[in-house]
Structure 1
Amino acid sequence: MTRPRYQIARDERGAAVIELALVAPVLALMVIGIIDMSNAFSRKLALEQGAQRAIERIMQTTGNDTVENTLKSEVQCQVNGTVTNSTSCKSTPVALSDVTVTYKLECTTAAGAITAQSSTDPVAFDALTCGTGGPFTEARYIEVIVNDKYTPMFPVHFSFINADGTYHLSATAGMRTQ
């Protein structure tokens, strides 16, 4: 009885396992990256919605506080949510210091030239005027900017991740007041 001759070059047993071992890390990194980017995008969307809802809310009422403080607290409440079994807002991850309220004045001349001025101080903003030099069309705006940081689950350092290992997120909402 003769033994069969094995040819090593034609033996393909285990090839699929080796191919999987080569491809699996790449697929795992892609999945983790997609999850991280989805979470960051979700966080940015929450910031945008919070800023927009604060602008909508300020059109309804300012309550007993200033417009700026009402906007800041409303953004914080919309983004962070409320404490369980309470009406008070959570103070993290977005703090009041992460919210900036800016007042803008745009002056348009009859020729169509536009100049803009802005201030974070509402009293100084009320004192702004278009100045002299002809008839102007004034437009006043209020803008809310919310800043936050998102820390990825798997900190692979690509060009869009900052040196501190986070994505810096920002959302802006505004409306014309006059």
Structure 2
Amino acid sequence: MPSQPGRFGRRCGAQDQRSSEVGLVTGLGNTLRQLLRHTGGTALIETAIVAPVLIVMSIGTFETSRMVARQSELQSSAEQATEIALAIIPDTETELGQVKSKLMASSKLSEARVVLSFKYRCAAGALETAKPSCSEDSLATYISMELSDEYQPVWTHWGFGKSLEYHLRRTVQIS
């Protein structure tokens, strides 16, 4: 069959290959457009990404508030013990033991975590644990209170961080 004037002859196989490549690109483009239009699972995926972050932030907020609350409890207990010491002015170890038992009860601490002791000062000297030999007029007596506690946040059970140590020290002049 002779070719028609003005037309170039093309082999049939070359046309088929070109049209199949165009069909593949067009098909991928159509598939991609359909996937971009389909948004049914995006909320689930976004939730899967955001939910763990929100959970960790919530736990952190809760644990931080518990740490601050415990510090406040210890401060309040020390303040209460200060008021008791100023009210009864303990002179003996027995009376100091009574203040210590009240402090242990209000702070919910064991005996090992609460240390009360007498401290003394002559005039403007340093605090000493032993009663110095100076005149009664220049002798000042103090009660030293030391509280220690440990708080273990939830995340330490998962291998993150470490426990929090509380150390509270108060010195009260009683005479």
TM-score over 0.5 for the pair: yes
- Please say if 1:75 is aligned against 2:103: yes
Is this contact kept in 2: 1:52–1:174, CA < 8 A? no
Show structure 2 runs of 5+ residues with no match: 1-29
Aligned to 2:73: 46
Partner of 1:33, secondary structure, is helix
Q: Which has the higher contact order (CA 8 A, sep 6+)?
A: 1
Is this contact kept in 2: 1:103–1:141, CA < 8 A? yes
| Matching residue's letter, 2:114 | V
Show structure 1 runs of 5+ residues with no match: 81-93, 110-114, 120-124, 131-136
Aligned to 1:55: 82
Larger Cα-atom Rg: 2
- Please say if 1:99 is aligned against 2:114: yes
What's the Cα RMSD here?
3.1
- Please say if 1:170 is aligned against 2:167: yes
Aligned to 2:150: 149
Runs of 4+ aligned structure 1 residues displaced above 6 Å come to none
Is this contact kept in 2: 1:145–1:172, CA < 8 A? yes
Q: Which has the higher strand share?
A: 1
Per the TM alignment, residue 128 of structure 1 is displaced from its structure 2 partner at its CA by: 2.2
